[in-house]
A and B are shown apart, each in its own frame.
Chain A
Amino acid sequence: MSADQGAETRAASLRSGAHVPPEEAAIGCRNVTKTFGSITAVDDVELGIADGEWVSIVGPNGAGKTTLLNILNGFYTPDAGSDVYLNGEEVSGRPEHYRARHGLGRTFQGLELFESEDVLENVMTTRAVAERPNVLSAMLYYGTGRKTEAENMRFVEEILDYLELWEYRHTTVSTLPLGVQRRVDLARSLALEPDVLLLDEAMSGLTFDEKYDMIRFLTDLHEEEGLTLVMIEHDLEVVTAVSERMIVMQKGGVIARGPPEAVTDDPEVARVYTGVE
């Protein structure tokens, strides 16, 4: 095989990409397309992310990364014929709250916190979704109503300790610095005890130290808890340092996928990022 043929084979492998079949993946999709009027935001994407894997999705602005994430978590309904799988279950017709209750957590690029509440209330609110008493026992605050709340509080305090948010627990979130707010967003999604966590630019706007902290927390969660992470991120240095696999999107489609070092060496990826042929 000549050097040129080898490069072509490698490039072809990056385009099609070795990945887990969506049906067997922790989170996956097949034939996913999303059009807004005449604009195709996501174009026939197939994805399979294995249980316990850390995958980063990168690409220029408008590549369709957030749209894909919104389809995976059910916030957007994709075009007909698109299939989405969560822990082996086909969830295409399921709403976002169903997917959240079945192991899919998510953070937001724009945060979307409950701004007038404090940190503890923000995380307790999400925990209440995971473990909630029935209306009668809640209103009587008796039996499971009382017990569930105490257990939820204990669980939430552990998350706040873990993410070093203890000192902010009674601070209204809208008054906190961005780095802390991003941690609150992460804490909130962890309160649901997800199997898969979708992170939409969780390090956007953070200082070097804040990014370092966020990577430390995510690495711990990935390695110690076995959490599957799917991260949209622009910082290639971070992506290549932490991800096991990388997916590059351009104009709604996947143009490369594979180990970060192989993907970043791909001339097509370099062209997309630098604009240099």
Chain B
Amino acid sequence: MPCGEYFTDYESRMGLVRWRTQKIALAVGLPIPFIAPFLLGGGTTTLLTQAYIFAIAVLGLNVILGYAGEIVLAQGAFMAIGAYSTSRLLAVGAGLFPALAVGGLISALVAVGFGLPSFRVKGFYIAISTLALQFIAEEWFFVNSQLAFIHGGTTQSLPSNVGLVGSVGTLGTTVDKYLLALVLMLVFAMLSLNLSRTGIGKTFRAIHENDLSASVLGVNVFKNKLLAFAIGGFMIGVAGGLFGFQIGFINAEYFTIGLTLEHYVMLLFGGLGRVWGALLGVGVVTLVQDYLNDGLNFLADLTGTNATALLPVFFGAIIIVVLAVEPKGVLAGLGKIKEYLRTWPFAY
């Protein structure tokens, strides 16, 4: 910590941006992503937009898994619910914000519904319950044409130009979508940070750490688990809606168990329960995955094989390496290095 800075009240001490260096970094760093799309090519802008959207979904997963410790394996299903709901509302001209909000709420309701067994069971059983949801969504609900009156069809095209509310404030270009995803990602990251530093996040973590102890100390464990499901489910649903809007087309095969695992890799890579860890994980995994994909495509062209099918190996390798080297994620590892450098050469 820099010498000479101190706090005279608790509110300042609990601030997110406390030190002078942090304030300078924020002032310098924050405008960069807003300028970026005007300097980068369309392909990179689209990739970053997708990274921001996935960041929202991973932040939602972080609330349920990282904070409250509930293993949910229905990330793809929650995103699908958000995407299809958003698509239906955009089709009737509701506008993007109402559509995203309703998509998020429906996803939150379904998440709460599948969180209800947590009244009796935890851990493995909740994982299985949500895995069932994933397969119901992936293998039956969204591919069932007889249920098109509910979801609107397995494949749907979304309007390319939509208003933010109704027809007001039309968005449609790649840059518009980029900026919208960036702003929403920053908002959800801020909300997650606030959740983490206030009583709600602390009670979630108490449940994660020791639910027996938490309940004896006054935490209504069941109610708080459902609250975590609702908050996380909402964020993942909104991310699903944004994802559909960004690519302009949705298909049930986008929202598979593979997507769920991809988001797990991102969260585990950065660090469970850490907002900055989730963002770091999404950023690194998305970019490396993109470069790797290019490399595998090149290899496929060169050898005439389907080398891109090897991509999932990359996720498996990341999980193994991170869990073996630093189970708390890369951010925790970076924290250790920072602490070592801060106290060097008198670390003892």
* Chain A residues at the B interface, C-beta cutoff of 8 Å: 73-75, 95-97, 100-101, 106, 108, 112-117, 121, 124-133, 135, 138-141, 145-154, 188-189, 192
Determine the distance from Cα of A146 to Cα of B221 in the docked complex, in whole angstroms. Answer: 24
* B342 close to A (CB within 8 Å): no
Which of B194, B200, B205, B213 has the most A CB atoms < 10 Å from its CB? B213
B209 adjacent to A117 (CB under 8 Å): yes
30 sampled A-B residue pairs with Cβ under 8 A? A75-B216, A96-B215, A97-B215, A97-B220, A97-B221, A100-B216, A101-B218, A106-B216, A112-B210, A112-B213, A113-B213, A114-B210, A125-B202, A125-B203, A125-B206, A126-B206, A127-B199, A131-B199, A132-B198, A138-B201, A139-B191, A141-B198, A145-B194, A148-B198, A149-B10, A149-B197, A149-B199, A150-B11, A153-B10, A192-B217
Residues of B within 8 A of A (CB): 9-11, 13-14, 191, 194-195, 197-203, 205-206, 209-210, 212-221, 227, 231
New contact pairs (6) apart from A128-B198, A129-B206, CB-CB < 8 Å: A96-B216, A132-B199, A138-B199, A149-B198, A150-B10, A150-B14
Nearest residue in A to B14 (C-beta to C-beta)? A149
- CA–CA, A132 and B221, complex, Å: 15
Complex contact A112–B212 (CB within 8 A): yes
Q: Pick the contact of A117 from B194, B205, B215, B219 — CB < 8 Å?
A: B205
The distance in angstroms between the C-alpha atoms of A151 and B199, with both chains bound, is 12
Q: Are B221 and A138 in contact (CB under 8 A)?
A: no
A150 touches B215 (CB 8 A): no
Contacts of B203 in A (CB 8 A): 125, 128-129, 132
Cβ-closest chain B residue relative to A142? B194
Chain B binding site: helix, strand, loop or mixed by DSSP? helix
Asked if residues A124 and B202 are in contact (CB atoms below 8 Å), the reply is yes
Residues of B within 8 A of A73 (CB): 216
Cβ of B86 to closest chain A Cβ, rounded Å: 22
Q: How far is the CB of A74 from chain B (nearest CB, A)?
A: 8
| A128 CA to B210 CA, complexed, in Å | 15
Q: Which residue of A lies closest to B193 (CB)?
A: A141
* Given A149-B14, A149-B198: A114 touches B191 (CB 8 Å cut-off): no
A126 to B215, CA, bound (A): 10
CA distance A121 to B205 in the complex (A): 10
Which among B14, B205, B216 has the greatest number of chain A C-beta atoms within 10 A?
B216
Known: A73-B216, A129-B203, A188-B217. Is A139-B10 also a contact (CB below 8 A)? no
> Which 7 residue pairs of A and B lie closest in terms of their CB atoms, listed nearest first?
A128-B199, A100-B218, A132-B199, A112-B213, A129-B218, A138-B198, A114-B209
Minimum Cβ distance to chain B for residue A149 (Å): 5
Contacts of B231 in A (CB 8 A): 135
Closest to B217 in A: A126
Report whether B194 and A138 are in contact in the complex, using a CB–CB cutoff of 8 Å: yes
Contacts of B212 in A (CB 8 A): 75, 112
B133 to chain A, nearest CB (A): 24
Q: In the complex, how many angstroms separate the beta carbon of B326 from the nearest chain A beta carbon?
A: 14
Task: Please report the C-alpha to C-alpha distance between residue A132 and residue B218 in the assembled complex, in whole angstroms.
Answer: 12
With a cutoff of 8 Å between Cβ atoms, the chain B residues found around residue A133 in the complex are 198-200
- Docked CA distance A29–B220 (Å): 23
Can you name the residue of chain B whose Cβ is closest to the Cβ of A75? B216
Rounded to whole angstroms, the CA-CA distance of A108 and B191 in the bound complex is 34
- Measured between beta carbons, the chain A residues less than 8 angstroms from B194 are 138-141, 145
Identify the closest chain B residue to A70 (Cβ).
B216
CB distance from B104 to the nearest CB of A (A): 14
Q: Which residues on B sit within 8 Å (CB–CB) of A146?
A: 11
Cβ contact within 8 Å between B217 and A189? yes
What residues of A have a CB within 8 angstroms of the CB of B198 in the complex?
A: 128, 132-133, 138-139, 141, 145, 148-149
Nearest residue, chain B, Cβ from A126: B217
